[in-house]
Chains A and B, each alone.
Chain A
Amino acid sequence: MNVSTRWSIRTRLTAWYVSVLAVLLLVFAVIVFIFQYVTLTRQIVHDEMQDAVTVEGLLYFDGRGQLQLRQDYYSRPQSHLLVDRLMEVLDLNGTVLYRSNALDNQSLGGGLVPGEGDGSSNERIVRLRDGSRVLTISHIHGMSGQDFVIRVGYSLRPLRDRLWQFVWLLVVALLVTILLATITGQWIASKAMSPIGLMADRAEGITANNLHDRLVVANPRDELGALAAVFNHLLERLEQSFQQLQHFTADAAHELRTPLASLRTVGEVALSETRPAEQYRDAISSILEETQRLNHTIDSLLLLARAEAGNSSAATENIALAPLTMEVSNMLSVLAEEKEIELLLQDEPHSHPAVYGDRSLLRVALINVLHNAIKFSPERGIVRIAFTMGDGLISITVADAGPGLREDEFDSVFERFYRGRGNSPNHGNGLGLSIVKLIVERMGGSVRFDPAAEIGASVILQLPIASQT
């Protein structure tokens, strides 16, 4: 496991931001340090130049021809200071003519450097015999018809000390800043993260029993607020499907109970007194018929469960719709013939568009729709099956000339265990159309009743046309 996953987001955020800050501060400190160094060095050189100029005016030859520095020139206050300066005056042969006392008889940079004092090389750092480093400038000066090289130098020790101090100051300031930044960073990060903790606590408390609970949305406009809102939507959908499932389970139990009740009653009545064998046979037959009904309901429930899984099941493929419809109408044609109903297949598409899904499920959907149409169609009626295509969809319309549906039934007929008005003698288990709806929707399509149908009911299945592969 690497560091980034071992640490909390809070710590990681802080670490990132503190390291970025540290790097920036370091760059800043280096720049300031360089600037300071350059400025101070320039200052020294500048001072030395001025000193050199002053010195020029103070030099004189004494009676014995020795070069001396005038020390009684009080009108220039710096002159006193100049006595302590590191200074050397050489003639052009390199003979030392004057050496200030502060040098303690050490050479200030040794012999003459070629071209010394005429310009470019008049600034250099030299090392004295005692090891201390000195920044010197050289300057050529003419006096009494003779040229001298005046060297003036400042020890670099005070500069170095000062810069060290500065570095220490920077280091301490840097460390203190980073420490403060870490502490405040942690604090800010935990403050920013605190809604997440609250959300987690709240979410942890949500179970099947209190699915109506929602996360607190502190500020719907910020990211965490948006996250909480998303979670709340999720909870809402969960709650809805959970409720649906509960209703469905209750409905299913009810639907199973009814045939069970009739099984029980038939059995109990049959055994309540001695009867002729014929009546027993009748009772047992009735019980068997009822178990078949029960079995159908269970099969339908399982089919619903399979359809719920929809296209996630392995058995998906491209299905040519027209041949499948033909197959289904052939299978059911005997029912139509019995009622002398004409099954009319219209507008069969020339190109054979395919849809994508589980073939056996789609087949069940088509069987249910067509079976319904035949069931509700009057004798000698016509059931029309028509295909239309457009917008990447293929629609199959199955229209009968039966009693049709009231407008308020258009949606409720798709509900599970809905049985419609009155008691049709050949009623099913009330799951047929909800199975159709589920199958079609899982394939990315839709099913509805055409409100514009003038006679009978006209159901329209719309399915997305599969991309040809």
Chain B
Amino acid sequence: MGEQARILIIEDDRKLSAALASGLEGAGYEVKAASSAEEGFFLVHRRQPDLILLDLTLPQRNGLDILQQLREEGVDVRVLILTSHNTIEDRVAGLKTGADDYMGKPFSFPELVARIEALLRRVLPSTPRRLTIGDLELDSAARGAWRSGQKLDLTAREFDLLFYLSRNKGRTVSREMLAKDVWQETSRYTPIDNVIDVQMARLRKKVDDPFQVKLLQTIRGIGFCLQEP
């Protein structure tokens, strides 16, 4: 990345705002935070951020109003809504007003970073045909995986899971992301986490257990990560 992308956080909860700022700075972004709509507007015009993280329930002014005004002014900025109002209707209203993405609180930080990256990459990357992590190789067309040249016997779901992890190699992937992107589950409940954990354990048995080097790691409390140690 040549120049650091600028992110503006408009969020009245200072604790959340500070944590986000610190996390995103760690991820390599230039971050400013505003705690009110007015301050947010000021910073939008002054610093011209590439992306805004917008809370919907702000004091005095609804986040959707701000979004609408920004879109009316024709400000070219990506907007990701963060809100505790998380029904499908809220989501639709947000996207209709001109948001580029929408995340319900509480969200997982790795997922937020993944979404921010996706929004800032203006062009969608094509899915690579082949992926390699250490001695693990995946072929998306043949839907096959090899480790040290040895073909792994994976079910369709296991392949999808491994492929998703490989595409996000080095990054932590949360259970929320897996449920949404691999299982295509829209709502979350206990059984799906259970299913993910069991599926992950089975995958690990096939991918890691027979080999010396362990690629698949569980990050307790956050999710999973596929990387070379």
Contacts and interface: CB of A to CB of B under 8 A. Distances in A.
A336 to B, nearest CB: 10
B214 interface: no
Nearest to B186: A360
Chain B interface residue bracket vs A: 20 to 34
Contact of A331 (B106, B187, B193, B195): B195
B220 A288 contact: yes
B106 A291 contact: yes
Contact of B221 (A287, A335, A338, A428): A287
A325 interface: no
A367 B191 CA distance: 7
B143 interface: no
A219 interface: no
B173 to A, nearest CB: 15
B22 interface: no
Interface string A273-306: 0000000001011111101100110011001000
A298 to B, nearest CB: 9
A303 B187 contact: yes
B189 A296 contact: yes
A428 B190 contact: yes
B106 A288 contact: no
Task: Say whether chain A's binding surface is mostly helix, strand, loop, or mixed.
Answer: helix
Contacts of B183: 331
B187 A289 contact: no
A300 B189 contact: yes
Contacts of A331: 183, 192, 195
A303 B220 CA distance: 27
Given A334-B198, A338-B198, A299 B221 contact: no
Contacts of A153: none
B144 to A, nearest CB: 21
A364 B187 contact: yes
Interface string A74-88: 000000000000000
Contacts of B189: 296, 299-300, 303, 364, 367-368
A286 B220 CA distance: 8
Interface residues of A, number: 28
Contacts of B132: none
B202 A338 contact: yes
A469 to B, nearest CB: 25
A296 B221 contact: no
B194 interface: yes
Given A284-B221, A334-B202, A371 B191 contact: yes
A285 to B, nearest CB: 4
Interface string A384-410: 000000000000000000000000000
B207 to A, nearest CB: 16
A287 B202 CA distance: 26
A117 interface: no
B218 to A, nearest CB: 10
Interface of A: 282, 284-289, 291-292, 295-296, 299-300, 303, 331-332, 334-335, 338, 360, 364, 367-368, 371, 426, 428-429, 432
Interface of B: 106, 157, 175, 183, 186-195, 198-199, 201-202, 219-222
Given A296-B189, A296-B193, A367-B191, 20 more contacts: A282-B220, A285-B220, A286-B220, A296-B190, A303-B189, A331-B192, A331-B195, A334-B157, A334-B195, A334-B202, A335-B194, A338-B198, A338-B202, A360-B186, A364-B189, A367-B189, A371-B191, A371-B194, A428-B190, A432-B190
10 contacts: A287-B221, A296-B193, A299-B189, A300-B189, A334-B198, A334-B199, A335-B195, A364-B187, A364-B189, A367-B189
